[in-house]
Amino acid sequence: MNRLPADTVRLLSSCQVINSVVNVVKELLENSLDAGALSIDIKLENYGFDRIEIRDNGSGIKAADTAVMAVQHYTSKICSHDDLEHLATYGFRGEALGSICAVAEVAVTTKTSEDDVGTKYTLDLTGSVVSQKPSHLGQGTTVCALKLFKNLPVRRQYYANTKKCKEELKKVQDVLMAYAIIKPELRLTLTHNKVVLWQKAKVSDHRMALMATLGPNAVAHLLPVHHQQPEIVIDGFFPRPGMDCSLASSSNPDKTFIFVNDRPVHQKDILKVVRQHFLAQYPADSALNRYPTVMLNITVPSSTVDVNLTPDKTQILLQNKVPFSIILSISLQTDFDSQVAVLAAVETLLVSFYGPGLGSATEATPVTTEYDGGSGLHAGPSLGDCLERLDNHDQGHDKGKDVEQLSAVSWSRGTALTDPSTGEPLQPVKIHLATGWSSDLGQVKAKGQSSPGKKVSNAITEKRAALTAYDLINNRAMRTPLSPATLFERETRASVLQEKPTASLQDITTAVQERWKNLGEEDRKKYEDKAKKHLERYDLQTKLPQGQKRKVLPSNQPVLDQLFFSQPQKKRGPGPKPSQPLPFSVVTLRQRLHRLSFQSNPRPQGLRLVNRLASQSAWVVLCGRKLMLLNPFRVEEALLFKRLLENNILPAASLQNPIQLTDSILGGAEYTQSLCTMEKGSPELRGMAIFSDPRLVANGFQITLTPGSSSTERHLEVTAMADCVPFLGMEDLREILTAVLHRNAKTVKECRPLKVTNYLQGEAVRLARQLPVTLAKEDVEDILLRMQQQLEETSQACIHGQAFFHHLSDIPDTEQEALNMSNIL
């Protein structure tokens, strides 16, 4: 790493300020991507305000650079401002990590491929290293930020609201989704309070990345697009033309992803063009405030993009960008001199994909119309023609032609510029009107004309003599006069709150009332005078002019009564509809349901399927005399979780550096002894044995034992651990040994650590969501049978605590009960 020159710092300095959790995550995530990481785990605690940990498998930080890795303006990505011309990384200022150190306690653990062991560095507020110690972590970098905004209590108080915290967590997920889409080879995991909220595995291409991020239903209607022109390449996925607007769009732009050179950006002008062409297919009422599901990646030369526009680098500036208004005014076939006409390229792609759906904005030969005020509409030259003629006019100057000098008189009269073909002056103002408006304009003009002999009254200046309620309405609100006690309370409440910042509202009100009671006569007289002035001002504002009285015209009252208090006349309904009586008896229905419930079978009180509710994907079941609603997906989720707890074996990945197990790491000699007594495989030639106990293997631990002449000389090492469970470590191994030692756990299910249990819960939910929405009757019967065989009677809820069954009603036994139920319904 090198320190940037002073002139480069002045040009790049952005006064980088970390003001939210999403800023921290985004900056550290981009550092991991710049280091070539292919697997990144983000772990948050208390929405990130207690702990933010980002672990990657990138190249790591060299030992020679660790002393200045968090010092301001030290970076290995650029050397000067000129390097931005060929920028290939997300970060370049060297400010992010130092800014995080200023608002949190930061520790960095890193290891390169050349290092034998990793090192954990603790940083201070200035980014300097204050301590270091070895670490067992593999290659890559782990940045841990604790107690975010610990020295900024006002900002921490701003996020005390749970709603704001959840919004911040949603923003973090949106940032991760953007990078997950543009980087298909990237594996991402977001964990909050030891629960996996969102994850994305490594995929092959952008379409699979969209499917893993947004789901298969959102990507099923997207089609790939590609457009290429000199120095501009556009790739992406757009909704199929003509499909349902509700399926291809959403009410907010969180599913509209725009990238420039693989960088997620917020470009309002590009988003505006995309929305206009997509929504032009639909009626205005159905397409209001809708944003299409789009992935758009624009590739242009790095020298034409300025990413140093905002501190978070989400907005960019394109050199020689053609203004959007010019693109809509001139033909798309025009050959722009601009090297990177990005908006024009996007416009061309959208026209070829969705068709010319914006009128003159997308037609090859736009036609403008002009309203002259009297004769109606006639054709006129388009804006493109005017620009071309002005360009020819300028070229005439360059070629040395004798052109008459423009005079102020001709310019003011509008005759300075003329049409070379007709010789008529160019019209500077054009009113674009659609075809068919000429008749409406004629009608409007006819209505606007009035006979010269008839006097037109002015309803604004010539008011009626009688004062109406409309005349009493003032455009300025009048405040009710305040009492002396209220005035005193307004002035005193602030001082009481300063003296007792932690006092409640009731305590503050009581203290103010006590001060009012103990107030002296002179001070009380002062507030009474203020209240008297308030009352006089209020009377002056509400007083009517002399000779006018508030009155309601008697003729208006009957009209108001008729409008607001009259009972609407009941319209006669249509004649009786044809009907046919059907035989029905509640007693017969009860008998059949009773017979169905108590048929001779091995379990007369078992569950019986009645029918399926198509709208809710639920089933009505009969259990004895009870009618209940069954959610089969909750049952299947619980069955999957139970099966995973009992049988799932986590795959173990080999560690580059095995972890040696000692009594201090395991928690004591008794834990080591308990581990040594567990089942092992056949020893090898050197005497080394691998533990084969399912309680260890199923939880993703591969441990080897090398015996010695005594218990102190034997070696226990962890050679492989499961990498699918984030942050799995030695504390989880202690949980397994604690269950074996203190709870006498014999099965795999009883020895599952908390992290593994949470991971298996997420897997069960993911598998349950892959079930078809509509289940056949045979499938539901099989689910009920497996529920009765595998789940206990006390376990009648899914992973999230939702019950399998919802009680609807009891089947009546007598005619009187049936009658009472029918009356209730």
pLDDT at residue number 795:
73
Provide the angle, in degrees to the nearest 10, between the axes of the packed helices 21-34 and 162-182: 20
pLDDT of residue 69 exceeding 90, the answer is no
User: Which contacts qualify for 19-24: CB closer than 8 Å, 24 or more apart?
Assistant: 19/155, 20/168, 20/171, 21/47, 21/48, 21/49, 21/52, 21/148, 21/168, 21/169, 21/172, 22/168, 22/171, 22/172, 22/175, 23/312, 24/48, 24/52, 24/100, 24/104, 24/145, 24/148
DSSP 355: -
The structure tokens listed for 287 are 């397409």
Which of 234-248, 545-559, 566-580 reaches the highest mean pLDDT?
234-248
Residues 500-519, mean pLDDT to the nearest whole number: 85
Q: 238: part of which helix (H) or strand (E)?
A: strand 232-239
| Reported confidence tier of residue 447, pLDDT bands at 50, 70, 90 | very low
The whole-angstrom distance between residue 366's C-alpha and the CA centroid of its chain comes to: 40
Sorted by sequence, the CB contacts under 8 Å of residue 151 that are 6+ apart come out as: 103
Cβ-based neighbour number of residue 457 at 10 Å: 8
No. of H helices and E strands in the chain? Answer: 27, 29
- Tell which residue, 338, 335, 239, has the closest CA to residue 296: 239
- Judged by average pLDDT, the poorest of 34-43, 313-322, 796-805 is 313-322
Distance CA(392)–CA(395), nearest Å, equals 5
Max CA separation in the chain (angstroms): 127
Q: Are the C-beta atoms of 258 and 271 separated by less than 8 Å?
A: yes
Higher pLDDT, 257 or 16: 257
pLDDT at residue number 188:
94
pLDDT at residue number 627:
82
pLDDT of residue 541 exceeding 50, the answer is yes
- Phi, psi angles (nearest 5°) of residue 138: -80, -165
pLDDT of residue 467 exceeding 50, the answer is no
In terms of Cβ atoms closer than 10 Å to its own Cβ (0-12, 13-18, 19+), residue 743 is exposed
Higher pLDDT, 38 or 623: 38
Distance CA(678)–CA(676), nearest Å, equals 6
pLDDT at residue number 329:
39
pLDDT at residue number 84:
66
| Reported confidence tier of residue 246, pLDDT bands at 50, 70, 90 | confident
- Tell which residue, 420, 285, 269, has the closest CA to residue 343: 269
- Judged by average pLDDT, the poorest of 134-148, 151-165, 180-194, 401-415 is 401-415
pLDDT of residue 45 exceeding 90, the answer is yes
Distance CA(341)–CA(332), nearest Å, equals 11
**Residue 94 φ/ψ region, left for φ over 0, alpha for ψ in the -120 to 50 degree band, beta for the rest:** left
pLDDT of residue 321 exceeding 50, the answer is no
pLDDT of residue 503 exceeding 90, the answer is no
Residues 522-547, mean pLDDT to the nearest whole number: 79
pLDDT of residue 477 exceeding 60, the answer is no
| Reported confidence tier of residue 821, pLDDT bands at 50, 70, 90 | low
pLDDT at residue number 481:
80
pLDDT of residue 370 exceeding 60, the answer is no
pLDDT at residue number 79:
67
pLDDT of residue 655 exceeding 60, the answer is yes
pLDDT at residue number 39:
94
pLDDT at residue number 125:
87
- Judged by average pLDDT, the poorest of 7-21, 283-297, 743-757 is 7-21
Distance CA(98)–CA(71), nearest Å, equals 6
| Reported confidence tier of residue 390, pLDDT bands at 50, 70, 90 | very low
Average pLDDT, the chain: 76
pLDDT at residue number 285:
74
Higher pLDDT, 172 or 554: 172
- Using alpha carbons, list the distances in angstroms from residue 443 to 117, 347, 453, 724: 87, 38, 21, 74
Distance CA(592)–CA(569), nearest Å, equals 48
Residues 108-125, mean pLDDT to the nearest whole number: 91
pLDDT of residue 411 exceeding 80, the answer is no
pLDDT of residue 431 exceeding 90, the answer is no
pLDDT at residue number 688:
82
Higher pLDDT, 773 or 558: 773
| Reported confidence tier of residue 171, pLDDT bands at 50, 70, 90 | very high
pLDDT at residue number 559:
66
Distance CA(771)–CA(780), nearest Å, equals 12
Higher pLDDT, 622 or 390: 622
pLDDT of residue 577 exceeding 70, the answer is no
Q: In this structure, which amino acid lies at residue 223?
A: L
pTM across the whole model: 0.46
pLDDT at residue number 232:
87
DSSP 750: G
- Judged by average pLDDT, the poorest of 208-222, 255-269, 769-783 is 769-783
- Judged by average pLDDT, the poorest of 134-143, 641-650, 810-819 is 810-819
Distance CA(60)–CA(31), nearest Å, equals 10
Residues 86-109, mean pLDDT to the nearest whole number: 83
Residues 92-100, mean pLDDT to the nearest whole number: 80
pLDDT of residue 424 exceeding 80, the answer is no
